[in-house]
Structure 1
Amino acid sequence: MNALIIYTYPNHKSLNYAFLQEVMKGCNDNPSIKDIQIVDLYEEQFNPLLVFHEHKRRRDMFRDPKLEKYREQIRWADKIVFVYPIWWGRPPAMLLGYIDQLFAANFAYKDKKGLFPEGLLKGKSVVCISTMKGPTKYPLLWLNNAHKILMKRALFSFVGIKQVKFFEFGNMENKKGRQGKKLEKVYQYFRKIAY
């Protein structure tokens, strides 16, 4: 199994970075995982802005040569892991910009007759690891699970990815937030996971 990890946080001395380290450690200790690649969107200075005009059309985005490296990583991956904070009830704009550009028509899905397109990323699975300052149940109770609906139903299901696992960790700025236990939980998950 090949694992692609997409890390979206601007600070390498952060809890999000510690989660990234535990994912990598768990993957390296798992004999089912053959290889891993990491995309650090802030470190790579990924440009999240969508630009369209008469010479650059949205429907041609799947051929943009500047994004080919990222498309190749997605093609290569069996499991795609996202590590990011939840800001204002959703992933950061940097990650959403990556999604807007990479999960494009004729790469991630293909329009066909009927209500829904054909997902072109079938057979892959996703793990979303997110942190937030508020309580763990905040997205469920206050936002009607908007984060999970956005990621699972509006994005991954649309492109053919049915297997999606979430780790939503709340109270991460609290001294009693049990950060150590949560880091260990992520490590153990990736150490044992099989495709």
Structure 2
Amino acid sequence: MKHLVLYAHPNPASFNHAILETTVKTLEGKGHEVVVRDLYDLNFAPVLNGSDFEAFQSGQIPADIKTEQDFVTDADVITMIYPVWWTGLPAILKGYIDRVFSYGFAYSYAEDGSINQLLKGKKGVIINTHGTPKDIYDSMGMTDALQKTSATGIFGFVGMEPLEYMAFGAVPLVDDATRKTMLTQIEDKLNSIF
């Protein structure tokens, strides 16, 4: 399978980067092809602006968006790895979705107003971290809300099958042994679904 990993964390020494390394190593170890798009390293421009809309309407997709759309088109599975900041995606990843998963590429509307899901057949995985302990996010419904807005609201909306949503809480507060256990859980989960 061909995997596209969308990675959104600015610190190369972060736990998210360890998740990225574990993900790539696990998938490649099973013979999968993996392409990583490190959005901070790419300095991806996240702001959807008026000229983007004009370009979409004229059929002249901006080069940076077209490059990413080609990666999406080529992938069987799209995995997003990111920290939860202010109960949402980092701005750079949200902007990637805004610009790359655009109307006419990822979805469109039929004459009757129904949604044409243009990325059917693809699968999606989300792995994220946050500073709040997971049991607190679980008890207040935040874990479910995050899963619904990302896995369902993004992947499901465009026709992708959400395979897994993994959330790891209290990451800055736990010890290294606990973080290693989290990495093992990620490796085990990826081995079980792929």
Q: TM-score, normalised by structure 1?
A: 0.89
Provide the rounded CA distance (Å) in 2 between the counterparts of 1:101 and 1:120: 15
Higher RCO (CA < 8 A, seq sep 6+): 1
Match of 1:45 among 43, 46, 70: 43
Shift of 1:55: 8.1
Provide the rounded CA distance (Å) in 1 between the counterparts of 2:112 and 2:25: 44
Q: Deviations over 1:101-138 (max 9, x none)?
A: 01111100121133431100001111100000001134
Other structure's SS at 1:9 match? coil
Q: Percent identity?
A: 27
- Cα RMSD of the aligned pairs, angstroms, is 2.1
Other structure's SS at 2:21 match? helix
Q: Deviations over 1:133-167 (max 9, x none)?
A: 00113444325522111112221111011233101
Match of 2:129 among 109, 128, 131: 131
Q: Deviations over 1:18-51 (max 9, x none)?
A: 00000011011113x2x11000000010010111
Match of 1:107 among 83, 93, 105: 105
Tell me, yes or no, if the aligned pair for 1:134 and 1:170 is still in contact at 8 Å: yes
Tell me, yes or no, if the aligned pair for 2:152 and 2:162 is still in contact at 8 Å: no
Tell me, yes or no, if the aligned pair for 1:59 and 1:105 is still in contact at 8 Å: no
Q: Which letter does structure 1 place at the counterpart of 2:25?
A: K
User: Is 1:63 matched up with 2:71?
Assistant: no
- 5+ unaligned residues in a row in structure 1: which ranges? none
- 5+ unaligned residues in a row in structure 2: which ranges? none
Other structure's SS at 2:164 match? strand
Tell me, yes or no, if the aligned pair for 2:55 and 2:62 is still in contact at 8 Å: no
Other structure's SS at 1:159 match? coil
Provide the rounded CA distance (Å) in 2 between the counterparts of 1:21 and 1:192: 18
| Distance change (3 Å), C-alpha of 1:62 and 1:116 | farther
| Distance change (3 Å), C-alpha of 1:58 and 1:138 | farther
Equivalent position of 2:163 in the other structure: 164
Q: Deviating runs (4+, > 2 A) in structure 1?
A: 53-66, 113-116, 137-146, 188-194
Other structure's SS at 1:26 match? helix
Structure having the larger proportion of residues in helix? 2
Greater mean deviation of Cα atoms: 180-189 or 61-70: 61-70
Greater mean deviation of Cα atoms: 174-183 or 93-102: 174-183
Number of aligned positions between the proteins:
192
Provide the rounded CA distance (Å) in 2 between the counterparts of 1:92 and 1:11: 13
